Amino acid sequence: MPFPQPLLSPGSVLVAVSGAWGVFWGTWSALLPAVLERAGTSPAEFGLVLTAVPLGAMPAMAVVGRLAVGREPRALLLTAFSLAAGIVLLGGVSGPAGLGAALLVVGATSGALDVCLNSATARVERTTGRPLFQAVHAAFPVAVIAAAPLTGLARQAGVGIPAVLLVCAVLQAASALPLLRPAAVGGRREEGEGRGKGGAGPAAGPVRRAGPAWRSAWVWGSVLGALGGCVLVVENAVEQWSVLLLEEHRDAPAALASAAPALYMGALTVSRLAVQRMKWPRTRDLVLLGAVGGCGGIAWAALAPAAWLSLTGFAVCGLALGPLMPALLGHAGRTDPSGYTVSVVSAVSYVAFLVSPLFVGSLTRWVSLPVTLACLSSAAVPLLAAAAVARWRPAWARPRTPADR
């Protein structure tokens, strides 16, 4: 008996994979104190071990992104299963060396999943003519917010690290099982069903495979990826430093301070779901919103004199920046039928997860943490410049939707 159609819709499959991915990373963040204790190392050494994640992810994204073009459903299936295997491996190691090796594998497979998920989402957008990136990217923070406290409860109940991570691995693999059917995410051919009489609309007819050369895709994708990196630098800083800011510089109690990342993620999710309900919001408008509201929000949060004002700033920052990264990926997917550019945007923007902690950690040697976080508002400069001068499509791209204008 076949699954009900809603469970096999392309959007449902991709949202499930993204949500399971978020469950793992939310669980992992809540497990870090226990992992540190089991590793028997200092926090400084542990921080170096954690850099294995972005170091493994970046080359994997560059390689897998190109290989996945034209075979997105199968690539997403394989990377989801590979990440599940890496999670199981992670649960079985303890020492710093073994932990670093396992995190390198998890980073590589997670990065590969990231780029394959974005490529598959772009393919579904092209074949259906419906926006999907905002919904897929909203599933991740929702899962992170839900998984972290549940993991804390599991730890209090005495559940060990291997058992918790095994559950994450099972969820990740199970979320990708519908991909065993090629039709679950676009099938083997990129053919869209026309909308309305005669098949009119952006999804009408087969999507042409012709696209820019790989070198041209790298140039255009790097531009969009750099803009996405501005968003992710701020996002990573909020996740890693907002609690410390409130506790040490705003005298906030631990419970209130710990709400900062969740508040940011919640606001980010709300804005993505709100934009998802819009047909095709203009990319330029979202860039301007991110530059003004997002970068202004992080400066406000960093320099506000009271904890509740800082929390308000983090919420504003999340609301303004939330839709921008999915919008850039969606734009890349619509303007490049080959799918190359989406993988480049994913890989280039991911560099922010390595740059952000290095930037904040280095700058705090010279100025205070509030001033350092306020300096992140300088990301508004490239965003404003891009909004002012960019036409939002390269010379070889055809305008496909109102969002590209």
Query: What pLDDT was estimated at residue 401?
Result: 44
| Span(s) in the chain for CATH 1.20.1250.20 | 5-180, 214-396
Mean pLDDT in residue range 136-149: 88
Between the alpha carbon of residue 381 and those of residues 191, 227, 294, the distances in Å are 40, 10, 12
Binned at pLDDT 50, 70 and 90, residue 125 comes out as confident
191: helix, strand or coil = strand
Query: What pLDDT was estimated at residue 216?
Result: 74
d(CA 293, CA 178): 39
d(CA 56, CA 110): 9
φ, ψ for residue 176 (rounded to 5)? -95, -5
Count the helix, strand and coil residues of the chain and give each as a percent rounded to the nearest 5. 80, 0, 20
Strands (E), 197-304: 205-206
Q: Please, which residues bridge with residue 206 across strands?
A: 191
Query: What pLDDT was estimated at residue 64?
Result: 86
Q: Which residue has the higher pLDDT, 346 or 203?
A: 346
Query: What pLDDT was estimated at residue 193?
Result: 38
d(CA 19, CA 176): 11
Nearest C-alpha neighbor of 271 from the set 145, 130, 134, 139: 134
Check pLDDT > 50 for residue 191: no
**38, burial (CB in 10 Å: exposed 0-12, middle 13-18, buried 19+):** middle
**127, burial (CB in 10 Å: exposed 0-12, middle 13-18, buried 19+):** buried
Q: Please, which residues bridge with residue 192 across strands?
A: 205
**Degrees to nearest 5, angle at CA 41 with 241 and 95:** 115
Query: What pLDDT was estimated at residue 324?
Result: 93
Of the listed ranges 120-129, 209-218, 322-331, the one predicted with least confidence: 209-218
Q: Are 330 and 125 in contact (CB under 8 A)?
A: yes
Which residues 6+ apart lie within 8 Å of 42 measured at CB?
A: none
206: helix, strand or coil = strand
Q: Which residue has the higher pLDDT, 114 or 197?
A: 114
Average pLDDT, the chain: 82
405: helix, strand or coil = coil
Check pLDDT > 60 for residue 157: yes
Between the alpha carbon of residue 292 and those of residues 160, 299, 342, 371, 374, the distances in Å are 44, 11, 25, 18, 14
Binned at pLDDT 50, 70 and 90, residue 402 comes out as very low
Binned at pLDDT 50, 70 and 90, residue 195 comes out as very low
φ, ψ for residue 205 (rounded to 5)? 75, 175
Dihedral of CA atoms 276, 282, 284, 290 in degrees, nearest 10, equals -20
Per-residue b or e along 341-371, where b marks 16 or more CB atoms closer than 10 Å to that residue's CB: bbbbbbbbbbbbbbebbebbeebeeeeebbe
Residue 45: other Cβ atoms inside 10 A: 14
Check pLDDT > 80 for residue 6: no
Q: Which amino acid is residue 341, in one-letter code?
A: T
- CATH homologous superfamily of 214-396 equals MFS general substrate transporter like domains (1.20.1250.20)
Query: What pLDDT was estimated at residue 390?
Result: 65
Between the alpha carbon of residue 19 and those of residues 82, 108, 265, 402, the distances in Å are 16, 19, 14, 29
Query: What pLDDT was estimated at residue 226?
Result: 93
**Degrees to nearest 5, angle at CA 148 with 354 and 47:** 30
Q: Are 287 and 232 in contact (CB under 8 A)?
A: no
State the first-to-last Cα distance of the chain, in angstroms, to the nearest integer: 45
pLDDT 10s digits, 370-395: 999 999 999 999 999 988 886 545 44
Query: What pLDDT was estimated at residue 19?
Result: 94
**Degrees to nearest 5, angle at CA 298 with 255 and 343:** 105
Mean pLDDT in residue range 82-96: 92
Query: What pLDDT was estimated at residue 304?
Result: 93
d(CA 181, CA 162): 31
Check pLDDT > 80 for residue 198: no
Query: What pLDDT was estimated at residue 39?
Result: 80
Q: How are beta strands 191-192 and 205-206 bridged, if at all?
A: antiparallel
Query: What pLDDT was estimated at residue 380?
Result: 92
Binned at pLDDT 50, 70 and 90, residue 174 comes out as very high
Query: What pLDDT was estimated at residue 186?
Result: 56
d(CA 200, CA 177): 33
Residue 197: other Cβ atoms inside 10 A: 6
CATH architecture of the domain 5-180 equals Up-down Bundle (1.20)
* Most distant CA atoms of the chain, gap in Å: 66
Query: What pLDDT was estimated at residue 405?
Result: 44
pLDDT 10s digits, 14-49: 999 999 999 999 888 878 778 888 888 776 677 778
